[in-house]
Amino acid sequence: MRAHADELGEIARHWFEVMRHCGDDVLELLHDGHPTACVHDAAFAYANAFTAHVNVGFFRGAELDDPDGLLEGTGRFMRHVKLRPGQPVDDEAVRALIHSAYVDMKQRLEKDSEAFVDRDADASR
């Protein structure tokens, strides 16, 4: 995003900032060169500026509710919202997707943690 000092960079930085504020447990890292938001060490979303658009992407986006039909992509897991300068953005819908991706990843981690605790309890019996 730093390489884009233009409007595309501003758009990407704005949405990454929204990701950062999802919770105190959000960490940041670079994944394949994309600024990535994680719950602990599990990636849930990224923002990346390209030459003509910004992708706000979701690592488990195929499983997110998308009532506004914003998500693009055909992969098994990932989806993204493509944003272009000068085009209208449904701010509330993009925020809702980011929040949903964050909550989804938190729930996945909690389930994994509970399963791990259950396995440990069974092993100690």
State pLDDT tens for residues 27-80: 999 888 889 999 988 999 999 999 999 999 999 999 999 999 999 999 999 999
Give all domains of the chain, ordered by start, each with its CATH number.
Answer: 7-123 (3.90.1150.200)
Q: What single DSSP character describes residue 15?
A: H
Report strand pairing: 34-39 vs 26-31. Answer: antiparallel
Tokens, residue 102? 């964050």
Give Rg (Cα) of the chain. Answer: 16
Task: Go through the chain and tell me how many residues it has.
Answer: 125
Task: For residue 119, name the pLDDT band (cuts at 50, 70, 90).
Answer: low
- The Cα 6–Cα 50 span in angstroms is 11
- Mean pLDDT for all residues in the chain: 89
Task: For residue 102, name the pLDDT band (cuts at 50, 70, 90).
Answer: very high
